[in-house]
Amino acid sequence: MPRRRHTQAQGAVPAAADGGGSAGKRHEGKTRPPYPPAFRAEAVRLTRSGGAPLVQIARDLGISQDTLRLWVKQAQVEVGEREGLTGEERAELARLRRENRVLREEREILKKATAFFAAEGATR
């Protein structure tokens, strides 16, 4: 039997070993595309109607009960039944945090440029 050279980490599965693509793979972690808003709204409506337990509705819809529970919780926040950030507030907070990060980076660049030009001016 010929020896095989290991170019990957020991025990790693080559990309081709999964059948040549990820078409049949389930999405893992946050890589799964989001559910459509209409699907979410209908799932929340079914849960809030009280016709069946949350666990049963989640199973029937093919989603995890934790996902459905989070959707119901967020829907309660959106209508003011529960404390928390609405989707709009959450988006604004993310935008402001991004803007704050950019401004801090720009400030650091300006500090370094000022120090550079001050040192260059002192040597002339």
Give me the pLDDT at residue 78, please: 92
Place of tokens 């049963």: 56
Give me the pLDDT at residue 30, please: 62
Give me the pLDDT at residue 20, please: 45
Place of tokens 């959450």: 90
Spatial distance between the Cα atoms of 102 and 105, rounded to a whole number of angstroms: 5
Is the Cβ–Cβ distance between 65 and 58 less than 8 Å? yes
Spatial distance between the Cα atoms of 78 and 87, rounded to a whole number of angstroms: 7
- CA–chain centroid gap for 46, Å, is 25
Q: What is the mean pLDDT of each run of 10 residues along the chain (124 residues)?
A: 47 43 52 87 94 94 95 94 94 98 98 92 76
Give me the pLDDT at residue 16, please: 42
Q: How many CB atoms lie under 10 A from the CB of residue 92?
A: 12
Structure token pair of residue 49: 């109607």
Give me the pLDDT at residue 120, please: 84
Spatial distance between the Cα atoms of 116 and 32, rounded to a whole number of angstroms: 47
- The letter for the amino acid at 109 is I
